[in-house]
Chains A and B, each alone.
Chain A
């Protein structure tokens, strides 16, 4: 059957190579020019527990995975137990009767096809360990889609390039056996994807995109404490330290991290850290230190659900109000929330420029879903990220005789000298200070400095774009959301609009400072408003109320630790009417 898009899910025990196989599967389609979005789910364990990897492939642009699975590959019983109901009418479940008894499952769903593949037997006949059955599953999947086996072999070679060639060859051999089992033994062909114009696409997740954007932006110092879901950014930076002259520091805790970043930035380099919400809790005081000393820093917050340890490997948009308010006292910061890896890339560039230009802390908010879900892209136009370091003084040429680091300027931004500049000496003082940096607790000075630091907001507002509107302007229903919920909402909106329901979507990537006037204007132009957020307490809706007085009453909220699927948004909207 020829199709324009398919969804594929692989499930197995943690440690059985599900995540690697899933990434390979995504890549073999992105490399050919297909549009790919994927998502993985795993518990906070190294071995045991249940892992899945979902890949959606399409010949035209897509924004998210969806609920209906065409091919479900079950390397364990749980995969069928937990995901059988996601398989679409006429879809396929591939299983091994050595690991599960399919009888009862068949009775429950007679509308789908069941294909028995003896994964473990094939592997053991070749003397391969059980963990390698994932390679057989890739061959099986490629065969079921009548797809390109050579492409699969090439990607396997690349992914395993650092391993022993014996291991690579074994994986390739297993893929071939899986492929042959379907083509030659069972002579099956499930679906065939529409052909696309050949165009190699890169496949990046949110963390990759942030990393790439940071390298392009000239980030020279990256510090972090390992924490899911931000850890892959640390690993990426560590892998290019010498090639790109970057120092990566895996520090003793998140407090050390933010203070090292402060020290590096104060000394003149662009510096960044990434963490989860638990790390941001520890960093809070440091964010205030950046604000008080007017030291530019970029913090990447990869959210995960719940307070305390919560659900470390799952997703939620629960930290918006925390990020906008973390640390004591009143001060200016910028909160950015990209909606997909493409926005992660360009907004990271923006984050560094805003930090330098306004000498304030910038927080870039992702979540586990966005951090780890891959999207296919034409190569990023990296030249679109340019570097603007603002009023930075790196030599003695442009400096006054009596240099004032915290001069009370018209735009609130004061020229910033870096240590080593002969006439630039100053104190970056965590105490309230005067224009030189000397401690000064006088009431006149306190008010002057607060006003100076807050005055930056005027220019800042000028370069913060309003939220982006997707879909028709004359919609009956307007969805409001932010950050990573973008993809599933766009999918839902497109489907709803095909049903002649006029829906549009206002997406926030800049969340703070919040220009209430712009939002009031937007609110005056919309009809029925619905907020969609991956949290319990509708924090964007609260932010809108705080800044405009307007309450959006219709809410679709999800806080199960999983991101939205388009189908859930569609049914949510249908229920509201």
Chain B
């Protein structure tokens, strides 16, 4: 590990060619199968818009998908894709990013995937500040299995698995990410693609781990958290006076408000990037190292 403060700047930022790709360049041969009106369409569109506007090409991007409705997106966006096990997007994304940090790596998964079965990985990935983006498609329910409570389901919500109502309090994903040390924490709303695309774009550009909680009503299974409900409750953090994105206390307080629902970027700071502290990949990604005839003579001598 290098001494802190001894930061490596991205070397040789040569002017990149403009590729002028369009949204359909990121479509696969498969048409999405989500329910009409599902928020996953908004995420799909927002991602593609962000890629176009960031001048990224499909083969430069790795998307890691979880299991759930959003995970089925693996089939619909043309990039390299790893459809991981349930809850395991972040460790797969971490391994891939460390193996080739030149890739743009984005993990996408639902609230059940990322907060229930995969919750541990979220906490530790936030601590790590690897240059990854994580989109949490938060519909507050298990959709693909037809409606059981998720960690974000409201207390009292009657579901197939909790017919008398959920007894736990819902987890606040934004607060969890802030508490765990993420350096970019935001919330988007699937009903506002323009705003969501902007956040995703900023998240990808952020040097560090970026987390976006995306509110998206499950139009098939959830009668309470509807588009109408969200539209009435939502306000933009940008509209708050003197909001400083570097102020963690303010971010935490804002995330805890109970009446209204803030969307936008709660918190963004620059901190040492995990990859920057690894001397092994200072010159080139791990994947570019030749391995055909590694001399271990020196190493063997340790064992005399």
Q: Are A267 and B59 in contact (CB under 8 A)?
A: no
Within 8 Å of chain A (Cβ to Cβ): is B287?
yes
Which of B77-85, B242-250, B260-268 forms part of the interface with chain A?
A: B77-85
Q: Mark A374-402, 1 if CB is under 8 A from B, else 0.
A: 00000110110001000000000000000
User: Which chain B residues border A241 with CB–CB below 8 Å?
Assistant: 278, 280
Within 8 Å of chain B (Cβ to Cβ): is A335?
no
- Among B59, B286, B300, contact of A269 (Cβ-Cβ < 8 Å): B286
C-alpha spacing A266/B28, complex, angstroms: 20
Q: Are A263 and B292 in contact (CB under 8 A)?
A: no
Within 8 Å of chain B (Cβ to Cβ): is A495?
no
Q: Are A431 and B83 in contact (CB under 8 A)?
A: yes
Q: Are A221 and B83 in contact (CB under 8 A)?
A: no
Within 8 Å of chain B (Cβ to Cβ): is A360?
no
User: Which chain A residues border B291 with CB–CB below 8 Å?
Assistant: 217-218, 220, 270, 387
Within 8 Å of chain B (Cβ to Cβ): is A261?
yes
Central interface residue in B29, B59, B72, by most chain A CB within 10 Å: B59
- Among B64, B78, B84, B303, contact of A425 (Cβ-Cβ < 8 Å): B78
C-alpha spacing A243/B294, complex, angstroms: 11
User: Which chain A residues border B287 with CB–CB below 8 Å?
Assistant: 220, 267-269, 418, 420
C-alpha spacing A495/B157, complex, angstroms: 74
Q: Mark A162-206, 1 if CB is under 8 A from B, else 0.
A: 000000000000000000000000000000000000001111100
A-B contact count (CB 8 A): 203
Within 8 Å of chain B (Cβ to Cβ): is A212?
yes
Q: How far in angstroms is the closest Cβ of chain A from B142? A: 17
User: Which chain B residues border A216 with CB–CB below 8 Å?
Assistant: 294, 296
Which of A51-59, A120-128, A245-253, A514-522 forms part of the interface with chain B?
A: A245-253
C-alpha spacing A423/B59, complex, angstroms: 7
Within 8 Å of chain A (Cβ to Cβ): is B95?
yes
Central interface residue in B58, B95, B294, by most chain A CB within 10 Å: B95
Q: Are A425 and B300 in contact (CB under 8 A)?
A: no
Q: Are A438 and B75 in contact (CB under 8 A)?
A: yes
Q: How many A residues are at the interface, by size bracket? A: 35 or more
Given contacts A220-B291, A427-B81, contact A264 B88 (CB under 8 A): no
- Among B67, B75, B95, B279, contact of A427 (Cβ-Cβ < 8 Å): B75
Q: Mark A315-359, 1 if CB is under 8 A from B, else 0.
A: 000000000000000000000000000000000000000000000
Q: Are B59 and A430 in contact (CB under 8 A)?
A: no
Q: Are B120 and A252 in contact (CB under 8 A)?
A: yes
Q: Are B292 and A202 in contact (CB under 8 A)?
A: no
Segment 420-447 of A: residues with Cβ below 8 Å from B: 420-431, 437-439
Which of B46-54, B99-107, B166-174, B188-196 forms part of the interface with chain A?
A: B99-107
Nearest B residue to A216, CB-CB? B296
Q: How far in angstroms is the closest Cβ of chain B from A250? A: 11
Given contacts A247-B281, A430-B85, contact A268 B99 (CB under 8 A): yes
C-alpha spacing A571/B97, complex, angstroms: 56
C-alpha spacing A351/B74, complex, angstroms: 31
Within 8 Å of chain A (Cβ to Cβ): is B94?
yes
Nearest B residue to A431, CB-CB? B83
Within 8 Å of chain A (Cβ to Cβ): is B91?
yes
Within 8 Å of chain A (Cβ to Cβ): is B176?
no
User: Which chain B residues border A43 with CB–CB below 8 Å?
Assistant: none
Q: Are B303 and A203 in contact (CB under 8 A)?
A: yes
User: Which chain B residues border A263 with CB–CB below 8 Å?
Assistant: 64, 82, 91-97, 99
Within 8 Å of chain A (Cβ to Cβ): is B124?
yes
Q: How far in angstroms is the closest Cβ of chain A from B141? A: 21
C-alpha spacing A438/B74, complex, angstroms: 8
Q: How far in angstroms is the closest Cβ of chain A from B82? A: 5
User: Which chain B residues border A246 with CB–CB below 8 Å?
Assistant: 280, 286
Q: Are B102 and A255 in contact (CB under 8 A)?
A: no
Within 8 Å of chain A (Cβ to Cβ): is B299?
yes
Q: How far in angstroms is the closest Cβ of chain A from B34? A: 13
Q: How far in angstroms is the closest Cβ of chain A from B170? A: 24
Q: Which residues of B contact A (CB under 8 A)?
A: 28-30, 57-60, 62, 64, 67, 72, 74-75, 78-85, 88, 90-100, 102-103, 120-121, 123-124, 278-281, 286-287, 289, 291-294, 296-300, 303-304
Would you mind naming 21 contact pairs between A and B with Cβ atoms under 8 Å apart?
A30-B304, A200-B304, A201-B304, A215-B299, A216-B296, A221-B95, A245-B286, A249-B94, A251-B91, A251-B124, A256-B120, A256-B121, A262-B82, A262-B92, A263-B94, A271-B99, A289-B88, A420-B103, A424-B59, A428-B83, A430-B83
